[in-house]
Structure 1
Amino acid sequence: MKFAELPLPPLVQKGIEETGFTDCTPIQEKSLPLALSGKDVAGQAQTGTGKTAAFLIALFTRLLSQERSGTPQNPRALILAPTRELVVQIEKDAQTLGKHTGFTIQAIYGGVDYMKQRDALKAGADVVIGTPGRLIDYLKQKVYSLREVEALVIDEADRMFDMGFIADLRYILRKLPNYDKRQNMLFSATLNTRVMELAYEFMNMPEKVSVTPEQMTAERVEQVLYHVSRKEKFPLLLGLLRKEGMARTMVFVNTKREAEFLQDRLRANDFPCRVISGDVEQRKRLKILEDFKDGTLPIMIATDVASRGLHIDGVSHVINYDLPQDCEDYVHRIGRTARAGAEGKAISLADEDGAFYLEAIEDYIKQKIPTEWAEDEMFVHDYKRSKPRPHPEPKHPKKGGRGEKPRSGEKPRSSGKRRPAEGEKPAAAEQAAAPAPSTEGGQPAENGEAAAKKKRRRRPRKKPAADAPQG
C-alpha cells in the first residue's frame, strides 16, 4: 500500500512526500486504516519498522479533521515515551511530518531547561511529547491540564513496565478525559499480558495489530558471535575495529563502569569515542548523539538506555561487548543498524559470564547466532593501557574541626591551651590532670580520691571443682 492511497489531508500528504516516504511498512499498512477510521489501536512490531510515523500520521489527521473545542493553552494530543532520547526522536519526526499542519509541538523531558519548558507548556501547545516524570511535575503545579486531550499515544509500553513507570503512567491516564471521548493508540515491541491489561483498562476496545515475522531480528543484519575469554575481549575488539574499518559503530555494555573503562582504553589507543548512559547529563547526551549522527564521532559506547527509539542513519556496526542479560535487549541493540532497508553487521563477544545468556537469546530470536573463531592475528596484544581513574578525595571535616590538615604555608591551629611561662606554675585544672608522682618502686602513688575513681575489675568466676571420687 502507498501513502497516496490513504485518505489523508493534503497538509499531511505534503509532509510525507517531503520526508521521502512512498510505500507503507507492514505495521503502517495494518494500523493506519484502523486509526484513520477513528478506532483505538494496539500495535506490535519490531524496532525500526515505522511505528512512529504510523501514529503521527493518524494523530495529525484526527486533529485536522476536528476543530479545537477547548482553551488554546491546553494540549489536544499527548504522546508518552519512556526515555528522553525517544522523546527527542519523536519530536524530530513530528516536526518533519507535521511541518505544514501549523500545530505547535512541544517536548517535555527531564535534565534540561526546566523553566523554558514550563513557560512553553504554559503558553500552549497542540501536541505534547514527554516522559512521565516531568509531565507529572508540571501537572501538579497546574501549569497545564489534560482534560481537553483528544488523542493519546503510548509508545514502547513494555519498556514503561521495565523501567518502573507504570505507576506514573496510570496517574497521567486518570487525568485524561474518559477513554470513549478520545482516540487511543498504543505501540510496543511486545504486547504481553501486562501491556494488554493496560490497554483494556484505558482504551476503548482496541484493535490488536501484530506484525511479528518468523525472524525476530532485522533481515539485513549480519550476525556474528565470538567466544572469547574476559582477558581477550579488549584485544579482540581492537583487532575487529582495525580489520572491519567501522565508520560508525555502537558498542553496547551492561554497566556504566565498564563503559567508562572501555572509553579510556579506546582513547588511549587512538580510537575517539564517547559514553552515553543514564547518568550522563542530558545536554551532553544530546551533544554526543548529534556528533555521532553527523559523523564527527565514529564510536559511541552505550548502555541499554540507547538500545531503543534511536534512529541513526548509517550505523555500519553494532558490537555487543557484553551480551545483554535480557534477551529482548539483544534484538533492540542490533536493530540500531540495518535501518530503513540498509545493511549492517552485529558482532557479539561472549565471555565466561555472557555465555550464560546466549541460550535464552537464541531461543527468543528463534535462530542460532553464527559462530566464528578468532584467529591469533586478530588479537592486538601490544595495545596501550589507560591510566587508572583517580579516586575521589575523602571529604574533610568542617574547617577548624578535628582531623583537618593545615594548608600549605599555614601554621597548625593550637588547642587553645596556653603554655605556662618559665617559672610559672600551671593552673589548678592542669595540676589535677597531671599524673601523680612516682614512688620508689616506679609505680604511681595513689591517694584516696584517685583510688576511689579507679575502675573496679571483675574477677573471673572460678568454675566449681568436680566432686572428688569416693574412695
Structure 2
Amino acid sequence: MTNTTHLSDVRFSDLGLLPVIEKAVEKTGFEFCTPIQAESLPISLAGKDVAGLAQTGTGKTAAFMLAVIQHLLSNPLENHEARHVRTLIMVPTRELAIQVAKDAEVFTNESGLKIALAYGGTGYEKQKNAIAAGADILIGTPGRLIDFYKQKLYSLRRCQCLVLDEADRMFDLGFIKDIRFLMRRLPNPEKRLNMLFSATLSSRVLELAYEHMNNPQKVEIKADTKSADRVEQWVYYPSNDEKIPLLIGLIQKLGPKRCIVFVNTKRNAENIDDFMRGNGIDAVMISGDVKQNKRQRYLSEFEQGKHQVLIATDVAARGLHIDDVTHVFNFDLPQSEEDYVHRIGRTARAGASGESHSFACEDTAFYLPDIEKYIGAKIPMADVTSDLLPELNKPKRVQRDRVQGHNKAKSGKSGHGHNRSRSGGSKSDKQPSGAKKTRGPRRRRKPSTPKTDG
C-alpha cells in the first residue's frame, strides 16, 4: 500500500495519452500525476479493469475520465445511434455527480464527446432533453438513471465503459439493488472497460467488483488525511445543552474565514442554522431536504466567500471540493471512522493547514475510541470553558421547503427512490435557546454487521 503525497513523479506526458487528451491536460496546467492516477492509469489505459482504493480529493475523477476518453476515442462505434450511451458513470450523490461532470468537461472539451447528467432533486426536463439528444458519457445517481432508462431515453446495450465512484457510499445509501439493475443491462464485463473506486475495498465492494468486472487489478492508495499531519485536531466533551453555545462561541473566538459544520441529522442542521441566524453569523445549510437548486446556489455562494459557515450532513457534503476552508467542526461525531477522515479532509487542502474541532457529547462520545484507533492517534482534549459558552439570542425560525416526494411526483415512478438518504431526520422537538437544553440525536447502537472501514 502506497502513502499518498500530493504528487507522484509520473508525468501525464509519459502515459501515452492521445494528442487530443494531452492537449486538454496541458490546458489544466497539470504535469505530474497524483498517486491514484499514477498507479491506475497505466492499467486502465491498457484496457484492463481497475478496483481502486482512494479517498475523495485524490484525483480519482481524472484517473477514470482520462482512461474513459482514451478508450472511447480508440474504439469508435460503427453505426452509432444517439440513444446508445457509451460510458455509464454511477455516483452516490447529486453533488458528486455535478462535480464529476464539471471535471469531465475539462478533459473532454477537445474530444467532441458529449456529457449528460442524471440526478434527483431538480432539472428533470433539462436532464431528460440532454440525454434524449444523445450522450457519449452519462453521469448520474442510480435512482434517476433507472427512471430515465425505464422511459427508454437511452440504451446500455453498446456501453463500452463502466465507472463506479465511491462504491462503499452507494452501499451505505442502499443503492446496491439499483446498481445491479443497471449492470445487468450492460454488455458482458469482458466487452467493456470497468473501473471501481472506493474509500474501502471491503468484502462487499470486492464481491461487486469480481461479479460485474473482468478480473480487476487492485490499486490501493493510503489516504494522506488518515494521519492528518496538516490538521490540528481537538476534541471537546460538552453536555448536549452546551453544544450550540460552544459551537457559536468557538466560531466567535476563532473567527474562521470559511468553515464547515458537520452534523448527523437534518434536525440538528436546521436547529444550528436557526441559531446562527439569530446570533448574527452568516451561514447556509445543505441537507437531503434542501432543494437541489438551492443547494447548488448555497455551495456556490459559500465557495465565493459570501458565507462564513456551511452546515452539512455527510450525504449532502460528499464529494465537496472547496478551497480555503480553515476550520471543520464535528458538531456530532460520525458513526464511521472513514467519515471522520473524510470530514477533516475538507480543510488543509492543497497543502494548506487547518483545524478540526469535534464534540464528543452524551450521544456520540462512544464513537471516539474507534476514530482514534483508526487514525492512529489520540485527539488532544480541549476544555469547555465559560468564555466559550456565550449567552445566545433566540433562534430565528424560517419556513423550509422540502423535496420529499418531489421526484416521484414528477416521474411517476416508484420502487427506485431518487433521494435516498441516511443523513437522519427525525420529527422536530421543541428546540432550546442557548440557556436551555439542546437535545441531540437519539443514541443508536453501533451496527452489528462486520465493519467495512479501515
Map 1:38-437 onto structure 2 (within 5 A).
Answer: 38-69=47-78, 70-212=80-222, 216-380=226-390, 382-387=391-396
Q: C-alpha deviations, 1:386-422, integer Å up to 9, x for none? A: 256789xxxxxxxxxxxxxxxxxxxxxxxxxxxxxxx
SS at match of 1:185: strand
SS at match of 1:23: coil
- Partners of 1:55 and 1:367 lie apart in 2 by 33
Q: In structure 2, do the counterparts of structure 1 residues 137 and 73 end up closer, same or farther at CA, with 3 Å as the change threshold?
A: same
- Count of residues paired in the alignment: 391
Q: In structure 2, do the counterparts of structure 1 residues 110 and 388 end up closer, same or farther at CA, with 3 Å as the change threshold?
A: closer
- Partners of 1:385 and 1:213 lie apart in 2 by 42
| Corresponding letter in the other structure for 1:29 | A
Question: Are the aligned partners of 2:227 and 2:376 in contact in 1 as well (CA < 8 Å)?
Answer: no
Deviation at 1:203, TM superposition (A): 0.3
Q: In structure 2, do the counterparts of structure 1 residues 387 and 5 end up closer, same or farther at CA, with 3 Å as the change threshold?
A: closer
- Partners of 1:176 and 1:59 lie apart in 2 by 16
| Corresponding letter in the other structure for 1:198 | L
Aligned to 1:35: 44
Q: In structure 2, do the counterparts of structure 1 residues 342 and 19 end up closer, same or farther at CA, with 3 Å as the change threshold?
A: farther
Aligned pair partner of 1:18 in 22, 27, 46: 27
- Partners of 1:41 and 1:153 lie apart in 2 by 10
Question: Are the aligned partners of 1:307 and 1:336 in contact in 2 as well (CA < 8 Å)?
Answer: no
- Partners of 2:225 and 2:168 lie apart in 1 by 20
1:8 aligns with 2:35: no
Deviation at 1:14, TM superposition (A): 2.0
SS at match of 2:164: strand
- Partners of 2:22 and 2:352 lie apart in 1 by 25
SS at match of 1:209: strand
Q: In structure 2, do the counterparts of structure 1 residues 82 and 230 end up closer, same or farther at CA, with 3 Å as the change threshold?
A: same
Question: Are the aligned partners of 2:225 and 2:345 in contact in 1 as well (CA < 8 Å)?
Answer: no
| Corresponding letter in the other structure for 1:308 | R
| Corresponding letter in the other structure for 1:271 | I
SS at match of 2:226: coil
| Corresponding letter in the other structure for 1:297 | H
Deviation at 1:201, TM superposition (A): 0.4
Deviation at 1:275, TM superposition (A): 1.2
- Partners of 1:114 and 1:30 lie apart in 2 by 38
Question: Are the aligned partners of 2:159 and 2:192 in contact in 1 as well (CA < 8 Å)?
Answer: yes
Question: Are the aligned partners of 2:328 and 2:344 in contact in 1 as well (CA < 8 Å)?
Answer: yes
| Corresponding letter in the other structure for 2:56 | T
Where relative contact order (Cα < 8 A, 6+ residues apart) is larger, the structure is 2
Aligned to 1:448: none
Q: C-alpha deviations, 1:434-458, integer Å up to 9, x for none? A: xxxxxxxxxxxxxxxxxxxxxxxxx
- Partners of 1:299 and 1:390 lie apart in 2 by 20
- Partners of 1:164 and 1:269 lie apart in 2 by 38
Q: In structure 2, do the counterparts of structure 1 residues 218 and 177 end up closer, same or farther at CA, with 3 Å as the change threshold?
A: farther
SS at match of 2:195: strand
- Partners of 1:330 and 1:41 lie apart in 2 by 26
- Partners of 2:14 and 2:255 lie apart in 1 by 43
Q: In structure 2, do the counterparts of structure 1 residues 390 and 357 end up closer, same or farther at CA, with 3 Å as the change threshold?
A: same
Question: Are the aligned partners of 1:273 and 1:301 in contact in 2 as well (CA < 8 Å)?
Answer: yes
Deviation at 1:290, TM superposition (A): 0.9
Question: Are the aligned partners of 1:46 and 1:216 in contact in 2 as well (CA < 8 Å)?
Answer: no
SS at match of 2:350: coil
- Partners of 1:93 and 1:298 lie apart in 2 by 26
- Partners of 1:146 and 1:81 lie apart in 2 by 17
TM-score, normalised via structure 1 length: 0.80
For structure 2, the residue ranges without an aligned partner over 5 or more in a row are 1-9, 401-454
Q: C-alpha deviations, 1:68-106, integer Å up to 9, x for none? A: 223233111110001101000000000112221111111
SS at match of 2:301: helix
For structure 1, the residue ranges without an aligned partner over 5 or more in a row are 392-471
- Partners of 2:306 and 2:396 lie apart in 1 by 25
**Percentage of matched positions with identical amino acids:** 55
Q: C-alpha deviations, 1:319-347, integer Å up to 9, x for none? A: 10111122221111112122232222111
